[in-house]
Amino acid sequence: MANPKPKKPSNGQPAQRPAYFKSLTDDAVYPGDAAQISLDIAELKRMPNLDNATPESLVDDLGDVNELRKILEKREKLLKEAIKGRKGKGAVEGVRYGALISSETQERISSPLVRELLTPEQLGQVLTEISMTKITTTRKG
């Protein structure tokens, strides 16, 4: 399957974003109708063929994905707060999805408190070094 992002036009203008990206980032809180949203989700689920992709086009696609993720996370937070504000707790049934609003308690280790209670030598005994690769994208212009 071909990458959904069009190639850069010959006129030197930047390529347009894929249709699924525009429809999910319109300034309206609820973009399009339900059928269009479903089609966009289906398009997003299809993985592109990256066999002939250049590193530059991959960076642009990754940047679009990161930007879309941030927008979707913001929308998710807004929608969750709106649901909690209208419903409180319990089950909510939409046409396409159901949701359960509940509260739970978790126990977590307090890093500042651990640093306060343990000596540097003790911390050194329990810390494990890990390696990872980080790729950060930034929007140009």
Does residue 49 sit within a domain? yes
How far is residue 136's CA from residue 63's CA, in Å, rounded to a whole number?
A: 8
Tell me, rounded to whole angstroms, the distance of Cα 76 from its chain centroid. 10
Mean pLDDT, residues 42-70 taken together: 87
- The helix/strand/coil state of 128 is coil
Domain assignment of residue 22, yes or no? yes
Say if 78 falls within a structural domain: yes
Question: How confident is the model over 64-104, as pLDDT tens digits?
Answer: 888 888 888 998 999 999 999 998 889 999 988 999 999 99
Q: Classify residue 137: in a domain, yes or no.
A: no
Phi and psi at residue 90, to the nearest 5°: 115, -170
Whether residue 71 is contained in a domain is answered as yes
Is 111 a member of any domain? no
Does the model's pTM come out above 0.85?
Answer: no
Structural domain count of the chain: 1
Whole-number Cα distances in Å, 17 to 68, 97, 119 = 11, 28, 52
In a domain, 37, yes or no: yes
| 55 falls within a domain | yes
Residue-range definition of the domain harbouring residue 34:
1-6+14-97
Examine the pLDDT at 4 and tell me if it is beyond 90. Answer: no
